[in-house]
C-alpha cells in the first residue's frame, strides 16, 4: 500500500526528513519498501492559462497558443495536443524546465514557428497510465476552473507531486494499516501524538426517508453488517483536484466524484464501500446471499463470471446478482455520467468467503484485500455517513434521511490481560509498570493495572490482538527491538551431535568429493516419465502433484540418476564434455494404496567423458564401466560390511545397458546398480556414453558392519607366485578369483590380477589372465615347500574346475 | 739423503699431487700409493732399522706426523671433490619446478551444502540437534500445527504443491519442528534443534524464484527462553556467515507461528563503534520470533510453562548474497563450471 505523507500530515504534526520517519516505521510497525517523491528532479513546471489558439500554418495537427504563465508577457507554445482550447488552465513546462525521466525542455521551432516550452500530459510528468484519469488519456491535462489554481502556480505542487510516497509492505496481521486512520494511530503512537482524524457533519436534507426508497436483507453469517444510504439529485462529474490528488498519490485512478468518494472513504477508514445507480436496480430490494448454481455476473471490469454456488456472496436486487460482494461491483448497476440517485453500501462480509472468492476469481481488489484481513468493526457507519455527506457535497445532491440496516451485529470489546513478569520473561527485559503503562497509552489502548497485571481493551481496528503474546509484541516493538539485549539461551545442557545416519551421509559426501565427483543438487520434481526411470524398487509407485505448475515438474523423483542425467545433458549442451557428479538425496516410493510416499535416502553418481584432464604428463582416461565400478567399490569398502560385496551382471534395469550393468550386492541384498546408461536412453537425454550408479543409502546404513579390531601385522616376509592362465572368454573373473580363493590354502592373503589379454598369441574364444598370489603367515616364515604345495592346489583346481590352461 | 729429507720431499710431492688432482679415482690412487703398505712412508719406516736407537723415535714421530698430515690433506680433498661431484649431479638434475604438478582434482561440495554444513557445525557446537522430516508432508504439520488453518490469509504467501488436499510438498522445514516438539520429552530438558532441508513452492522459475530451494530453521524451547536470547543467537548466525564485524537489526514482521515476529537484517558492511547508523546498508536475511502459544499447544507443550524462539533462513538466498550469484537456477542446473568455483 502507498502512504501519502501530505495526507498523513493532515492528522499528525510531522516534520523532518521523510526517510527518517520511514526508517522509524520500518523498525516499529511494517516494512517501508521505498520512499519516493513523484516530482523529484522536475522543475520549471507551472500552471498556465490558454489565452488563444490559432492553427499552425504548416501543420494540420499542431496549433499555436499564447499562454499566461503569471509572467508579464504571454508565452507562445506550439502544441499537438488535440484537446487544447482557449480559457483552459493547463500544465506548462517552461524553457529550461525538467520533466519526467530528467528530460529537459528547451525553446525551439516547430515547423518554423517558435515554441517556448511544452504543454504537458500527466504521463509526461511521470504519472502511471494506471492512475492517470481516463478523460485525459490522449491529451494534455486541464485543471478544473474550481481547482483553486492560477497561472504561475507551481504545477508540481498543485498536482501533489511534492508529496512523499511510502511504499508500505503491510503484513497480513496489520489490516489496520490499510487505512489512513489506522496508519495515523500507529504513527501517532510512534511520535507520541494523538491524531486528528476526519469527522462528519451529516446533513440529511433529502426528500424521502431512505427506508421508503429501498429495503435490504442479509444473512448475519455472510454479512454481519450491511447498511445502505441514499443520495438524490446528484451530478456525476470529475472530483475536485484535492481529491484526485490524494487518490492518485495512493495509486488509485480518479474516475468520477461518486466512485472517488467511495475510494476515498476506503482509504480513510479502511471500509470498502460500493455505489449503485438506483435507477438501474430492477427492484428496490437489496439482498445478500450465497450464489446458486448456474448464476453468472458481469463485473465492472467487463468479465462475465461464473459464480460458485454456495461459496460466492452476492448482492442481489430481488432475484438477480448485481455484485460479487466485497470483491467487485456489477456492470448492470454501475454509476455513469447520467446517474442521479445513488445507493451507497457499507458492509462487513465474512472474511473466509471473500478470501476464497478473490482467489477463485483471481480478483484481488482493494476491497477484498481489506475484508479478507478484517476491517475496523466499529467504523462502518461512520464511513458510510462520511461518504454519503461528501457525495452530496461534491455532487450537489442531498442525503436522504436515515440508514437502511439489514444487519448490524455488535461485537464486544476484546480484553486481553498480561502480567509485567510475563512481558519481561518473554522479552528478556526489566521493564516496570510505568514503562508498560506508557507504551499502552501511546498506542491509545485503554489499560487497567492491578497487581502488575495489565487488562487491556483492544481497539476494534486491531483485529490482530487477542492473546497476551500479541500484547507482548506491541510492547517489544514500541520499546524498540534495538533496545533488547543480545544474549544466548541458558538451558539445561544439551548434547549437539550428528546421528549415525548424519555422520555416514556427511562422510559419504566428503569421500565421493575426494574421489573427484562434484556434488549436484538436482530438482526433486520431474516429469512423470523421468520420475519412474532408473528406479531401484520395481514395486514402488509414482507420486504425482495434484495441480502442477508446468509439464516439467509433475511428480516426485524415484531415482537420483535421472536428475543427474539432466545435469549431464545441461553440461554437455554447453560444451562441458567431462562431467563427474554425485548426488545425495531422497527418492519417493509410494507403495500400494498409500497416499504418501516413503522417502528413502539414496546416493548416486554419473560420469561421462574423461575422468580428470589431459596434462603434459599424459592423457586422461575416458571413463568406462570400471571407472564407475571402482568408485562404487572404493565407497562401499569404507563401510566394512560383515557380508561381502559382489557385482552381478544384470538386465533388470531397463534404462541400463544390458551387457554393461551390474547389480551391487552386499551379501544377498541388492543395494543398487552400476553400469552404462542404455544408449537409447542416453540418446533421448542427448548425452554420450555415461556411466552411473545408484545405491540405497538406507540399506547401507542398516546392513551389519564388522566390529573394529586389530589384526597383528606379520613380522615374517610374504612370498608370491605368479600364474597366467588361458580360459574360455565367457569365464568371469569373479569365478576364477573364487576358485583361487577357495583352493589357496590358509596362507593365501592376496590375489592381484595384473593382466587381462585377448588378441595375438591367444586362441580365438579364449582370454588370458595373470595373477600374483601372495602367501604369508603371522607366526613364521613360510617355507618353499608349503607354498609350492598350496600353489599346486590352485593350479589343479583351475585346470579341473575351469578347464584353464596354465601358460 | 737423510730419512728426514726423504720424508720432506715425499710430503712436498704428494701434496702437489693432491692439490692438482680433480678426480676422486686419482685421489684414491694417491692415497693407496702414499699411505698403502707398499707406499713410501711404510718404506721409510721400514728403513728405520738401519738408523741409531737415538734417532729412531725422532724419525718415527716425524714419519707419523707426515703420514697424518697427508691423510688429512687427502680427506679434505676427498670431501672437496665429492662436494663438487654432488653439485655437478644436482646441476644436472635441475627440473622446471614451474611445470604443473600431477593433476589431482577433487570434487567439491555444493555451495548450498557448504552453507548448511557451516550452520550445522555452529549449532552442533551450541548443543543443538539436527532434525529431519519428510519432504512430502501432511497439511497438518506443514500448516495447521504452524497456526495456519486452511483459510488463513498467510497461506497466500506460500503457494503450495498439493498431492491430495491433505498431502503436500512441504513449503518450509517448520513441520519438522512440530514433529520434533511432539516427540520431545521436556522433563529431560530443553529442545534445541535446527532443521535444514529442501522445500518446495508453487512458483515459476526465474532468476529470483525457484520452485525448489532450501531452508534452515531453528527452534529452542525451554522454561526461560527470551527474545534477547533469540537476538543473541541470530547475531551469532549472522557473524558466522558474514563475519565477526557484522551486526543485525530486528524489525517487526508477521508469521503465523511466532508472536512477536521479526524480520532480521544483517549489515552488508562492517560495523564498529564509529560507524554512523545512516552508513549501514541492511539486507533482509531471515525471519524469526517467539514461538506462538498455539503452536506449542498443538504440539502438546504447555505454553504457560514452556516457551522459546524459532527462526528460519534460506541458504540459497545467503549464497546469492554472499557470492553475488545473480540467478537462483544456477544452484539446481549443476553446471560443472559453477559447481567447481566453490572450493
Which chain B residue's Cα is nearest to A549?
Answer: B202
Sign for the pseudo-dihedral over CA of B303, B306, B311, B312 = negative
In a domain, A495, yes or no: no
Contact of B261 with B288, CB cutoff 8 Å:
yes
Q: How far is A52 from chain B (nearest CA, A)?
A: 53
Per-residue pLDDT of chain B (343 residues; tens, 9 = 90+): 677 788 888 888 888 888 888 888 888 888 888 888 777 777 777 777 777 888 788 888 888 888 888 889 889 999 998 999 899 999 999 999 999 998 888 999 999 999 999 999 999 999 999 999 999 999 999 999 999 888 776 776 568 999 999 999 999 999 999 999 999 999 889 999 999 999 999 988 999 899 999 999 999 999 999 999 999 999 999 999 899 999 999 999 999 999 999 999 999 888 888 888 778 888 888 999 999 999 999 999 999 999 999 999 999 999 998 899 999 999 999 999 999 999 8
The C-alpha atoms of residue A187 and residue A443 are separated, in whole angstroms, by 9
In a domain, A200, yes or no: no
In a domain, A198, yes or no: no
What pLDDT does B156 receive? 62
Spatial strand order of the sheet with B129-130 comes to: B129-130, B191-200, B212-222, B307-313, B282-291, B258-267, B248-252
Map residue A726 onto helix, strand or coil.
strand
CB contact under 8 A, A29 and B169: no
Q: Where are the alpha helices (DSSP H) in A250-350?
A: 257-269
Same domain, A323 and A424: no
Task: Tell me which residues of chain B, numbers 148 to 207, contact chain A at a CB-CB cutoff of 8 Å.
Answer: 151, 153-154, 156-157, 161-164, 166-167, 169, 189-190, 192, 198, 200, 202-204
Sign for the pseudo-dihedral over CA of A203, A208, A214, A220 = positive
In a domain, A196, yes or no: no
| pLDDT one-digit tens code per residue, A460-513 | 999 999 999 999 999 999 999 999 999 999 988 889 999 999 999 999 999 999
Which chain A residue's Cα is nearest to B232?
Answer: A486
In a domain, A270, yes or no: yes
CB contact under 8 A, A615 and B189: no
CB contact under 8 A, A571 and B138: no
Each domain of chain B, given as residue ranges in start order, spans 3-92, 111-339
Mean pLDDT of A254-269: 96
Q: How far is B231 from chain A (nearest CA, A)?
A: 5
Q: How many CB atoms lie within 10 A of CB A36?
A: 13
Same domain, A688 and A778: no
Q: How far is A392 from chain B (nearest CA, A)?
A: 36
Contact of A401 with A214, CB cutoff 8 Å:
no
CB contact B263 to A (< 8 Å) = yes
Partners of A585 on chain B (C-beta within 8 Å) are: 198
Same domain, A331 and A434: no
CATH code, domain with A784: 3.30.70.380
Q: Domain total for chain A?
A: 6
Better-scored residue on pLDDT, B39 or A203: A203
The C-alpha atoms of residue A165 and residue A36 are separated, in whole angstroms, by 5
> Which phi and psi angles does B274 have, rounded to 5°?
-95, -5
| pLDDT one-digit tens code per residue, A56-78 | 998 888 999 999 999 999 999 99
Same domain, A434 and A399: no
Same domain, A753 and A675: no
Which chain B residue's Cα is nearest to A553?
Answer: B211
CB contact under 8 A, A359 and B331: no
What pLDDT does B1 receive? 67
Partners of A595 on chain B (C-beta within 8 Å) are: 163-164, 166-167
> Which phi and psi angles does A315 have, rounded to 5°?
-100, 135
How many A×B Cβ pairs under 8 Å? 269
> Which phi and psi angles does A408 have, rounded to 5°?
-155, 75
The C-alpha atoms of residue A705 and residue A255 are separated, in whole angstroms, by 78
Same domain, A389 and A248: yes
CB contact A548 to B (< 8 Å) = yes
CB contact A494 to B (< 8 Å) = yes
Query: Does the pLDDT value for residue A748 go beyond 90?
Result: yes
Q: In sequence order, which residues have a C-beta less than 8 Å from that of residue A257 and are 6 or more positions away?
A: A236, A237, A238, A239, A243, A391, A394, A395
| pLDDT one-digit tens code per residue, A284-312 | 999 999 999 999 999 999 999 999 999 99
Domain span at residue A559?
500-702
Mean pLDDT of A596-611: 96
Same domain, A527 and A590: yes
CB contact B306 to A (< 8 Å) = no
Task: Say which of B106, B231, B336 has its CB closest to residue A571.
Answer: B336
Task: Say which of B102, B156, B292 has its CB closest to residue A617.
Answer: B102
The mean pLDDT value of chain A amounts to 94
CB contact under 8 A, B204 and A550: yes
CB contact under 8 A, B127 and A496: yes
ipTM of the complex: 0.87
A73 in a known ligand binding site: no
Same domain, A148 and A93: yes
Residue at which a domain ends, from A483, A516, A536: A483
Same domain, A33 and A50: no
Superfamily of domain B111-339: Bira Bifunctional Protein; Domain 2 (3.30.930.10)
What pLDDT does B158 receive? 61
CB contact B305 to A (< 8 Å) = no
CB contact A556 to B (< 8 Å) = yes
Residue at which a domain ends, from A408, A440, A460: A408
CB contact A492 to B (< 8 Å) = yes
Q: How far is B88 from chain A (nearest CA, A)?
A: 27
Residue at which a domain ends, from A383, A408, A433: A408
CATH code, domain with A32: 3.30.56.10
Which chain A residue's Cα is nearest to B125?
Answer: A496
Mean pLDDT of A510-529: 96
Partners of B336 on chain A (C-beta within 8 Å) are: 518, 571, 576, 578-579, 581
Same domain, A154 and A171: no
Q: Nearest-5° angle of CA A484, CA A485, CA A491?
A: 115
CATH code, domain with A150: 2.40.50.140
Same domain, A431 and A544: no
A552 in a known ligand binding site: no
What pLDDT does B157 receive? 57
Tally DSSP H helices, then E strands, for chain A: 21, 42
What pLDDT does B46 receive? 77
Task: Say which of A486, A547, A567 has its CB closest to residue B231.
Answer: A486
CB contact under 8 A, A548 and B161: yes
The C-alpha atoms of residue A728 and residue A167 are separated, in whole angstroms, by 81
Same domain, A26 and A116: no
Mean pLDDT of A773-798: 91
Partners of B209 on chain A (C-beta within 8 Å) are: none
What pLDDT does B280 receive? 87
Amino acid at each position: 500500500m502507498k502512504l501519502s505523507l501530505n495526507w498523513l500530515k493532515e492528522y499528525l504534526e510531522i516534520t523532518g526528513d521523510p526517510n527518517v520517519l520511514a526508517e522509524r516505521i520500518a523498525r516499529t510497525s511494517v516494512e517501508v519498501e521505498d520512499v519516493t517523491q513523484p516530482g523529484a528532479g522536475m522543475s520549471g513546471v507551472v500552471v498556465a492559462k490558454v489565452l488563444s489558439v490559432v492553427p499552425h500554418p504548416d501543420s494540420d495537427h499542431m496549433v499555436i497558443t499564447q499562454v499566461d504563465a503569471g509572467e508579464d508577457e504571454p508565452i507562445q507554445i506550439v502544441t499537438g495536443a488535440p484537446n487544447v482550447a482557449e480559457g483552459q488552465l493547463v500544465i506548462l513546462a517552461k524553457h529550461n524546465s525538467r520533466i519526467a525521466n530528467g528530460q529537459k525542455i528547451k525553446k525551439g521551432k516547430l515547423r518554423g514557428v517558435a515554441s517556448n516550452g511544452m504543454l504537458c500530459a500527466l504521463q509526461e510528468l511521470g504519472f502511471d497510465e494506471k492512475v492517470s484519469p481516463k478523460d485525459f488519456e490522449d491529451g494534455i491535462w486541464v485543471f478544473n476552473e474550481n481547482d483553486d489554481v492560477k497561472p504561475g502556480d507551481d504545477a508540481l505542487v498543485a498536482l501533489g507531486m511534492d508529496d512523499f510516497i511510502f511504499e508500505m509492505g503491510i503484513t497480513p496481521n496489520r489490516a489496520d494499516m490499510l487505512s489512513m486512520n489506522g496508519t495515523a494511530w500507529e504513527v501517532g503512537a510512534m511520535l507520541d501524538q494523538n491524531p486528528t482524524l476526519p469527522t462528519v457533519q451529516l446533513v440529511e436534507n433529502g426528500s424521502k426517508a431512505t427506508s421508503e426508497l429501498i429495503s435490504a436483507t442479509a444473512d448475519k453469517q455472510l454479512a454481519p453488517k450491511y447498511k445502505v444510504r441514499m443520495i438524490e439529485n446528484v451530478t456525476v462529474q470529475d472530483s475536485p483536484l484535492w481529491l484526485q490528488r490524494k487518490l492518485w498519490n495512493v495509486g488509485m485512478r480518479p474516475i468520477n466524484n461518486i466512485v472517488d468518494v467511495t475510494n476515498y472513504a476506503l482509504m480513510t477508514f479502511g471500509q470498502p464501500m460500493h455505489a449503485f445507480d438506483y435507477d438501474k436496480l430492477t427492484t428496490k430490494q437489496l439482498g445478500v446471499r450465497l450464489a446458486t448454481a448456474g448464476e453468472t455476473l458481469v463485473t465492472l471490469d467487463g468479465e462475465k463470471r461464473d459464480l460458485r454456488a454456495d461459496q460466492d456472496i452476492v448482492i442481489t436486487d430481488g432475484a438477480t446478482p448485481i455484485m460479487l460482494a466485497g470483491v467487485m461491483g456489477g456492470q448492470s448497476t454501475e454509476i455513469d455520467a447520467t446517474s442521479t440517485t445513488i445507493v451507497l453500501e457499507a458492509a462487513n462480509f465474512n472474511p473466509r468467503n471473500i478470501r476464497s472468492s478473490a482467489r477463485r476469481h483471481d480478483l484481488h481488489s482493494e476491497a477484498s484485500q481489506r475484508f479478507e484481513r478484517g476491517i475496523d468493526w466499529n467504523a462502518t457507519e461512520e464511513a458510510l455517513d462520511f461518504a454519503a455527506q461528501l457525495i452530496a457535497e461534491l455532487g450537489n445532491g442531498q442525503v436522504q434521511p436515515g440508514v437502511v440496516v439489514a444487519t448490524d451485529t455488535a461485537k464486544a470489546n476484546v480484553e486481553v490481560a498480561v502480567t509485567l513478569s510475563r512481558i519481561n520473561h518473554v522479552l528478556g527485559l526489566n521493564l516496570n509498570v510505568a514503562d508498560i503503562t506508557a507504551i499502552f497509552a501511546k498506542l491509545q489502548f485503554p489499560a487497567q493495572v492491578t497487581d502488575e497485571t495489565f487488562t487491556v481493551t483492544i481497539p476494534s481496528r486491531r483485529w490482530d490482538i487477542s492473546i497476551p503474546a500479541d500484547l507482548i509484541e506491541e510492547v517489544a516493538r514500541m520499546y524498540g527491538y534495538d533496545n533488547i539485549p543480545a544474549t544466548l539461551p541458558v538451558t539445561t545442557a544439551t548434547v549437539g551431535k550428528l546421528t549415525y545416519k548424519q555422520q555416514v551421509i556427511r562422510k559419504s559426501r566428503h569421500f565421493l568429493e575426494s574421489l573427484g565427483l562434484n556434488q549436484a543438487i538436482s530438482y526433486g520434481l520431474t516429469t512423470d516419465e523421468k520420475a519412474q526411470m532408473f528406479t531401484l524398487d520395481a514395486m514402488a509407485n509414482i507420486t504425482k502433484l495434484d495441480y502442477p505448475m508446468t509439464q516439467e515438474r509433475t511428480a516426485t523423483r524415484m531415482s537420483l540418476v535421472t536428475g543427474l542425467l539432466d545435469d549431464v545433458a545441461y553440461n554437455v549442451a554447453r560444451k562441458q564434455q567431462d562431467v563427474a557428479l554425485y548426488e545425495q538425496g531422497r527418492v519417493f516410493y509410494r507403495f500400494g494404496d498409500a497416499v504418501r510416499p516413503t522417502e528413502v535416502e539414496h546416493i548416486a553418481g554419473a560420469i561421462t567423458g574423461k575422468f580428470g584432464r589431459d596434462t603434459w604428463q599424459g592423457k586422461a582416461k575416458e571413463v568406462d564401466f570400471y571407472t564407475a565400478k571402482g568408485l562404487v567399490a572404493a565407497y562401499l569398502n569404507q563401510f566394512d560390511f560383515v557380508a561381502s560385496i559382489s557385482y552381478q551382471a544384470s538386465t533388470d534395469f531397463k534404462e541400463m545397458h544390458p551387457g554393461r550393468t551390474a547389480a551391487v550386492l552386499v551379501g544377498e541384498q541388492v543395494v543398487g546398480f552400476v553400469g552404462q546408461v542404455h544408449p537409447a536412453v542416453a540418446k533421448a537425454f542427448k548425452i554420450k556414453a555415461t556411466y552411473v550408479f545408484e545405491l540405497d543409502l538406507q540399506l547401507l546404513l542398516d546392513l551389519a558392519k564388522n566390529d573394529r579390531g586389530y589384526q597383528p601385522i606379520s613380522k615374517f616376509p610374504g612370498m608370491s607366485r605368479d600364474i597366467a592362465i588361458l580360459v574360455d572368454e565367457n569365464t568371469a573373473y569373479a569365478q576364477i578369483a573364487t576358485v583361487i580363493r577357495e583352493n589357496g590354502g590358509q596362507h593365501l592373503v592376496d590375489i592381484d590380477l595384473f593382466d587381462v589379454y585377448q588378441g595375438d598369441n591367444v586362441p580365438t574364444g579364449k582370454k588370458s589372465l595373470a595373477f600374483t598370489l601372495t602367501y604369508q603367515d603371522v607366526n613364521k616364515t613360510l617355507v618353499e615347500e608349503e607354498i609350492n604345495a598350496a600353489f599346486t592346489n590352485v593350479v589343479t583346481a583351475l585346470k579341473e574346475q575351469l578347464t584353464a590352461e596354465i601358460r | 739423503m737423510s730419512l728426514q729429507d726423504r720424508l720432506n720431499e715425499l710430503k712436498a710431492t704428494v701434496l702437489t699431487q693432491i692439490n692438482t688432482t680433480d678426480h676422486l679415482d686419482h685421489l684414491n690412487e694417491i692415497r693407496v700409493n702414499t699411505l698403502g703398505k707398499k707406499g713410501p712412508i711404510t718404506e721409510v719406516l721400514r728403513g728405520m732399522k738401519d738408523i741409531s736407537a737415538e734417532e729412531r723415535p725422532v724419525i718415527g714421530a716425524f714419519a707419523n706426523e707426515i703420514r697424518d698430515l697427508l691423510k688429512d690433506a687427502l680427506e679434505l680433498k676427498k670431501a672437496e671433490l665429492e662436494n663438487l661431484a654432488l653439485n655437478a649431479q644436482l646441476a644436472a638434475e635441475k627440473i622446471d619446478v614451474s611445470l604443473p604438478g600431477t593433476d589431482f582434482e577433487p570434487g567439491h561440495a555444493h555451495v548450498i551444502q557448504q552453507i548448511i554444513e557451516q550452520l550445522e557445525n555452529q549449532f552442533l557446537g551450541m548443543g543443538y540437534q539436527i532434525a529431519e522430516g519428510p519432504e512430502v508432508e501432511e497439511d497438518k504439520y506443514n500448516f495447521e500445527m504452524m497456526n495456519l488453518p486452511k483459510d488463513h490469509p498467510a497461506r497466500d504467501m506460500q503457494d503450495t504443491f498439493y498431492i491430495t488436499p491433505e498431502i503436500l510438498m512441504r513449503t518450509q522445514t517448520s513441520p519438522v519442528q512440530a514433529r520434533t516438539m511432539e516427540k520431545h520429552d521436556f522433563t529431560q530438558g530443553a529442545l534445541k534443534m535446527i532443521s535444514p532441508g529442501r522445500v518446495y513452492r508453487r512458483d515459476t522459475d526465474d532468476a529470483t524464484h525457484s520452485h525448489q530451494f532450501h531452508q534452515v530453521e531453528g527452534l529452542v524451547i525451554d522454561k526461560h527462553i527470551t527474545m534477547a536470547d533469540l537476538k543473541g543467537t541470530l547475531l551469532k548466525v549472522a557473524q558466522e556467515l558474514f563475519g565477526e564485524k557484522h551486526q543485525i537489526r530486528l524489525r517487526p514482521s508477521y508469521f503465523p507461528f511466532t508472536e512477536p515476529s521479526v524480520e532480521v537484517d544483517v549489515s552488508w558492511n562492517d560495523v564498529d563503534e564509529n560507524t554512523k547508523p545512516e552508513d549501514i546498508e541492511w539486507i533482509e536475511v531471515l525471519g524469526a520470533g517467539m514461538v506462538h502459544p498455539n503452536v506449542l499447544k498443538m504440539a502438546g507443550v504447555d505454553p504457560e510453562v514452556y516457551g522459546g524462539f524459532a527462526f528460519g533462513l534460506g541458504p540459497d538466498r545467503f549464497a546469492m548474497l554472499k557470492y553475488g550469484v545473480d540467478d537462483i537456477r544456477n544452484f539446481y542446473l549443476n553446471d560443472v563450471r559453477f559447481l567447481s568455483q566453490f572450493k
